[in-house]
Structure 1
Amino acid sequence: MTKRPEDIAARKALRARQGGGARYDAVTAPHDNRLLARRGAAYFARKLNELSDADLYGLSLCNGWTRAHLVAHVSHEARALAIALKSLREPLIAEEAEWKPDLALAATLPSRALRHLYDHSAKHLDVEWRDLPPDRWNMTLTTLGGDTVTARDTPMIRAEMVWRAAIDLGNGGRPTDVPRALRQHSAK
């Protein structure tokens, strides 16, 4: 993505208004991929919030999964990435180091709890990205699925997941809603 002069000026003005106490992504962070992940998280949240509580337990487009399973899966993946990223900054507490997601159990949560689970996990991941020091973006970590990737890869992994999951909710999300840059990346 090309940075337009007006976007750069707007960002600079925003930082001036926010003052010295505000925290920002590291200059070495993959900003364009972070933007795709943030927009995907917002799109998923919008599609999730369009569902009634009853519809949340209906079937998704993922074979054998309800929408609740899909929400729990997307939430667990975010939490797993957040924990892995945190481990690049500091030692994990016992609860984090021993965390094992239980998809079947999470899918039985009440609708309000599932919505909060998604919201909290998305924010947690965003905070871990923001707090990752500049020299840690090229370090490796292991995903929930057991893949070894760099921290720099995680925003694109998340972007692909949340955009695909938003469509898989099966309530009107369309492949054409996915940003062109992400569609082109996924086609590689």
Structure 2
Amino acid sequence: MTNAPTSSYLPWMTEGHEYFMSALKRIGDEQLEGPSALPGWTGRHLLSHVGHNARALGRLAHWAATGEPTAMYRNPSARAEEIEAGGVWPAPRLRDFVEDEQVRLSVALDRLTGVQWQAEVVTAQGRTVPATTIPWLRSRELWIHACDLPSGGDFAEFPDAFTDALITDALTRRRTGQSVAVGVRATDRETDAFPRGDVIVEGPSADLARWLTGRGTSPHLRTTTGAPLPQLPPWL
């Protein structure tokens, strides 16, 4: 989870959806037939995932609202099955699907009370978190996957505060179970937001976020010792 104020998460989710849809509108249906930036996924698979992710997070919102345990996915294979099923839908249906599921999730979150926002739910990775985490999880999906679309978005266009939160969140996840802790330093602006580590990688904040979330490296990234960049395990 990030250290950003909880009040930031819902605006980031809304802005992230707008950013994703703006990137999507620049892409023709025929481009969605081709590959996305994610190995093995076409653009249609990516849209299927983004729409089904909103639906899955809506299940967590239902859990928070009712107290009825409702997993994001019914079993370990359900996520992949949903993505594959939606990946064969026509592109216009997928565009509507992403929009409609985002609206449903937003409505469900708007209905949560103060007490319900603090209810504990369990993510697809098995982490127990308060419901306040749900809009952060959705924000992360929307902003990052906008950059996975064919001719899609760019990490350099993310809001600075969101980029900081994303880097911090990614660093926290990257350190889990690792013998060497990776830290970063942004070279494009002054910030002390990021954890230090045994190995420090420095470079522009957008490039750091892109690398930490498994979207490739950049010639602008380097370790402070001159050693090669650490090898990172797959993102999520």
* TM band (smaller chain): 0.7 to 0.9
**1:40 counterpart residue number:** 16
CA contact (8 A) 1:80 1:144 kept: no
Deviation at 1:153, TM superposition (A): 1.1
Which residue does 2:229 correspond to in 1? none
Please state whether the residue corresponding to 1:35 is helix, strand or coil: helix
- Structure 2 distance, partners of 1:97, 1:34, is 23
Query: Runs of 5+ in structure 1 lacking a partner?
Result: 1-28
User: TM-score, length-normalised on structure 1?
Assistant: 0.76
Q: Cα 1:97–1:179, aligned 2, differ >3 Å: closer, same or farther?
A: closer
The residue type paired with residue 124 of structure 2 is L
Post-superposition offset of 1:97: 9.0
Give, in whole Å, the separation in 1 of the partners of 2:85 and 2:62: 25
Out of 92, 116, 132, which is 1:112 matched to?
92
* SS across alignment from 2:147: helix
Judged with a 3 Å threshold, the aligned counterparts in structure 2 of structure 1 residues 160 and 139 are, in CA distance, closer, same or farther, namely same
Structure 1: which 4+ aligned runs deviate by more than 4 Å?
A: 96-101
Return the offset for 1:91.
7.0
Matched, 1:169 2:115: no
Once residues 91 and 113 of structure 1 are traced to their aligned partners in structure 2, the CA distance between those partners, rounded to angstroms, is: 33
Secondary structure of the structure 2 residue equivalent to 1:141: strand
- Aligned-partner Cα distance in 1 for 2:148–2:21: 13
SS in 2 for 1:88: helix
Do residues 78 (structure 1) and 58 (structure 2) align?
Answer: no
Tell me, yes or no, if structure 1 residue 179 matches structure 2 residue 175.
Answer: no
Equivalent pair of 1:80/1:143 in contact (CA under 8 Å)? no
Instruction: Output the TM-score relative to the length of structure 2.
Output: 0.61
CA root-mean-square deviation: 2.3
Q: Please tell me whether the aligned partners of residues 160 and 186 of structure 1 are also in contact (alpha carbons under 8 angstroms).
A: yes
Asked whether 1:87 is paired with 2:63, we answer yes
Structure 2 vs 1, CA of residues 97 and 185 (structure 1 numbering), >3 Å: closer, same or farther? closer
- Is the contact between residue 81 and residue 144 of structure 1 (CA under 8 Å) also seen in structure 2? no
Give the CA deviation at 1:56: 1.2
SS in 2 for 1:89: helix
In the TM superposition, residue 98 of structure 1 has moved relative to its aligned partner by 6.0
Per residue, is there more helix in 1 or in 2? 1
Structure with larger RCO (C-alpha < 8 A, sep 6+): 1
- Write the distance in 1 (CA, Å) between the matches of 2:124 and 2:33: 24
